Chain A
Amino acid sequence: MSTIVQLQSITKVYGIGDIIVNALSGVDLTVNAGEYCSIMGTSGSGKSTMMNIIGCLDRPTAGRYYLDGIEVDTLADNELARIRNQKLGFVFQQFHLLSQLTAWENVMLPMIYAGVPVQERRDRAREALVRVGLEQRLQNKPTQLSGGQQQRVAIARAIVNRPVVLLADEPTGALDSTTTEEILDIFGELNASGMTVVMVTHEADVARRTHRIIWFKDGKVLESNLSPKDVALVSAG
């Protein structure tokens, strides 16, 4: 089984001068292809910080990070942009769709930066939207879609460039419980078809649906391989 994400002694220190925050203090973590993990932990424990580093949106202060066999912590900004475009899919709590574009155009966006030809772009974006069940909403602007539908567009956008890992930081944080279920169904289906998924969540019910739970505390991995049965343990602290 191939390794997709490998973090070695990753630290992240915020603040220059008097106030120093050790957001991550020595994180070792490995995620293999096809895994479906959730990351849990108290607020401020460093989950988002780590997701941003895994997503190549941020750089670690120290440590090594291999993504799909490439050591990314040494890459230049331009190369990181390319990695984000080609190997990573990101889903945010706030959806972050561009309001002036239709659902279809939003999904095409990553392919524009990838230099995919127009026709292929349109076809692939449509396929991705079909996968998340939005074939009826291609021409709708984000304001004409419900929260759950917007998040599905965001998922389609995240998977359209066929990333090696799909990262989601509290993807259901802004959704009600029924919509949360729909989104989790989509993540489940994507994982079933081979997509590696890493998701941050506060909700035990969400974590329970993943296959592996990583427990974060004070910038460290407390437990890196809990099973869904152990969720109660994490929730209890």
Chain B
Amino acid sequence: MDWLESGNMAVKTLTSNKLRTGLTMLGMIIGNASVIAMIGIGQGAQRLASEQFESLGPNVLFVTPGSQGARQRTTFLPRNLVWDDAKAIAAQVPSVASVAPQRQSQLSITYGGKNRTTLVMGTAPEYLVVRDFDVAKGRFINNVDLERNTRVAILGSEVAEQFFEGKDPIGSKIRIRNISFEVVGVLQPKGSFLGNNQDDAVYIPLTTSATSLTGRTSPFGLDLTFISISAINEASIPAAEFQITNLLRRRHKIINEDDFTVQTQKDILRIVGTITGGLTALLAAIAAVSLLVGGIGIMNIMLVSVSERTQEIGLRKAIGASEQDILMQFMIEAVMLSAAGGIVGTGVGIGGILLVAAFSPLQAVVSPLAITLAVTVSGTIGLVFGVFPARQAARLDPIVALRSA
């Protein structure tokens, strides 16, 4: 008996009990749908994350205080990264285009009876260039502000919307930590970055931040929490990283462990990639368990089916079916069940991805690899979990089987 005949026979059997066939396939459908959807959503998250990093600005590097090791050991970071470091990088590193010193803290802001705790960022004019922000209205921080410690504030679009609800905020006075600041500008919306709303921020001159709000806390100068740097082009990023590291080591008189960390977009992307990759793997693992459960469901039903069809098996043997014929018949039924479940499940999974993509910022990523994997795995599961029932069937004694009326 050839494959075509066995396939025909299996189709006939499976379609003769549609309800059972459907219910048996359900396990595989759910299993496959979840594998496809989970991997798709995981990869969508990964892609979203990398796109967001690209939106940070072109060819960006970051310097943060504390070593990688120190960052893992303690939450109190040394305050030894200062404005002079940023100035030195701008002046001495040739592969660097712009340097934006940043010092940021969460502070309470009030305006017209409204109160809100928001990120307040002390920075310099370069910030706009390095981080690729645009001014919507008014102006950004300029060098005069820095020299004179002016109390001016530029609002992120979200903050402007929250406090002013469509009115023009320029010229109004807001209070940061009870100190009055004049609003001189509003930024264009930028969207969120890894769930952080980048538009929910207020920008003030770096110098004003140190003198009026938080005070100087480092013995080495005006301390920073962050330096954002743009390299002159993508090719010069590794050079910039190397040169910045060297410069800061010299300036900080480092002998052993660095007290700062230079990271490129790639470094951060890699970290995010590890996290989202792990997440994807976890989701896939959970989904794989449901595939397994689906396979066990198939085995269960096939076993019931073998004992129900004892007479049929006996008759087939009596008219000349060999053990291999019976084995093949039941194996093909099992594989068809699981592969069909796999295909339907893939459709449902893709539907799920498209649905999630439609209602969230996640992109729809339909991975051909995931689909091939899921269908192959389902087929294999059918094969593996079909073997046992099929062998039971093939080994039935025809006389005993025929007598079981």
Contact = CB atoms under 8 A, between A and B. Distances in A.
Contacts of A17: none
B317 interface: yes
Interface in B362-405: 398-399, 402, 405
Interface string B314-345: 11111111111100000000000000000000
Interface in A60-89: 77-78, 81-82, 84-86
Interface SS of B by simple majority = helix
A112 interface: yes
Contact of B12 (A81, A86, A92, A100): A100
Contacts, number: 64
A96 B12 CA distance: 18
A98 B13 CA distance: 10
Given A57-B398, A58-B399, A115-B1, A85 B312 contact: no
Contacts of A58: 399
A112 B5 contact: yes
A125 B102 CA distance: 89
A81 B1 contact: no
Interface string A86-120: 10001010101010110000000110111100000
B16 interface: yes
Contacts of A110: 319-320
B98 interface: no
B311 interface: yes
A78 B323 CA distance: 7
Contact of A81 (B16, B317, B405): B317
B402 A85 contact: no
Contacts of A191: none
Contacts of A101: 12
Interface in B222-260: none
Nearest to A95: B315
Interface string B1-38: 11001000100110010000000000000000000000
Interface residues of B, number: 25
Contacts of B320: 81-82, 84-86, 110, 113-114, 161
B1 A113 contact: yes
A55 interface: yes
A100 B15 CA distance: 9
Given A57-B399, A101-B12, A96 B1 contact: no
A100 B13 contact: yes
B40 to A, nearest CB: 39
B15 to A, nearest CB: 9
A110 B325 CA distance: 12
Contacts of A52: 399
Interface in A115-149: 115
Interface string B176-204: 00000000000000000000000000000
A125 to B, nearest CB: 13
Interface of A: 52, 55, 57-58, 77-78, 81-82, 84-86, 90, 92, 94, 96, 98, 100-101, 109-110, 112-115, 157, 161
22 contacts: A52-B399, A55-B318, A57-B318, A57-B402, A58-B399, A81-B317, A81-B320, A81-B321, A81-B323, A81-B325, A84-B317, A84-B319, A85-B319, A86-B320, A90-B319, A94-B405, A98-B312, A100-B12, A109-B319, A110-B320, A113-B322, A115-B1
Given A109-B319, A113-B325, 20 more contacts: A57-B318, A57-B402, A78-B322, A81-B317, A81-B322, A81-B323, A84-B317, A84-B320, A85-B319, A85-B321, A94-B402, A98-B312, A100-B12, A100-B16, A101-B12, A112-B1, A113-B319, A113-B320, A113-B322, A115-B1
